[in-house]
Amino acid sequence: MEFGPDHRQALADILRWRRDVRHFQTAPVAPEVLTRLREAMAAAPSVGNSRPWRVIEVRAPALRSGVRESFARCQAAAAAEYDGKRRQDYLALKLAGLDRAPVQLAVFTETDPAEGHRLGRLTLPETLQQSTAMAIYTLWLAARAENLGLGMVSILDPAEMERLFGVPPHWTFTAYLCLGHPEFTDDRPLLHRAGWQEDSETVWQVR
């Protein structure tokens, strides 16, 4: 298949408008849309075709409550690392959509999957986590193309998440994702608007 200017522009628009969303509507995501998103995630590249990502759709109130409690503990610990105005700025940030996102996904990485027969990861085992990261980003872009928002909650304790979800010992926690219809769309990151930090220049060297 040959791609043309319209495809390139559509991709550029999706990349530009992909944001780490924290403000969600509570309206549900249609089942057929979730099916398309699962199919998009399944199309992501992975080392040796190992497909190491393991996804749990979190619906149980007790599990969601456990995630929020872990977030609160970790956020308090992180805030203690800052002083003065930087601490005030940190506490003013909205760092998670856990209160309203209708779809929440706990994503883990299988550390030694049978799939792929270890091709490509004997020298760089971290490519398994990288493969899961690519699957998440594929989901992120596909969600934006569906006019949905996705946010990653990184202020969580990995060991707590593994215990909370009772996953096998060879699964490692990678990410907790909030997904749904955003309250608003924006082509500028919220951290920029909040004055936390602007983009730094990408390091791209020629040698």
pLDDT of 17 reads: 83
pLDDT of 196 reads 57
The residues, ordered by sequence, that sit 6+ positions from 191 with a Cβ below 8 Å of its Cβ are 93, 197
Contact 109, 35 (CB under 8 A): no
Euclidean distance between CA atoms 178 and 23, whole angstroms: 10
- Predicted model pTM: 0.87
**End-to-end alpha carbon distance in the chain:** 34
CA dist 171 and 191 (Å) reads 31
Average pLDDT per block of 10 residues along the chain, 207 residues long: 94 89 93 97 90 96 95 85 76 73 96 82 87 96 96 93 97 97 77 62 82
Using N-to-C axis directions, what is the helix angle for 84-92 and 61-79, rounded to 10°? 160
Kindly list the structural domains of the chain, giving each domain's residue range(s) and its CATH number in brackets, ordered by start: 28-184 (3.40.109.10)
Q: Backbone phi, then psi, for 51, in 5-degree steps?
A: 45, 60
In whole angstroms, give the CA distance from residue 33 to residue 37. Answer: 6
Whole-number pLDDT of residue 67: 96
For residue 178, the model assigns a pLDDT of 96
Q: What is the pLDDT of residue 118?
A: 80
pLDDT at position 115, please? 87
How far is residue 19's CA from residue 147's CA, in Å, rounded to a whole number? 11
The per-residue pLDDT for 184 is 81
pLDDT of 49: 80
Which of 154, 187, 186 shows the shortest CA–CA distance to 173?
A: 154
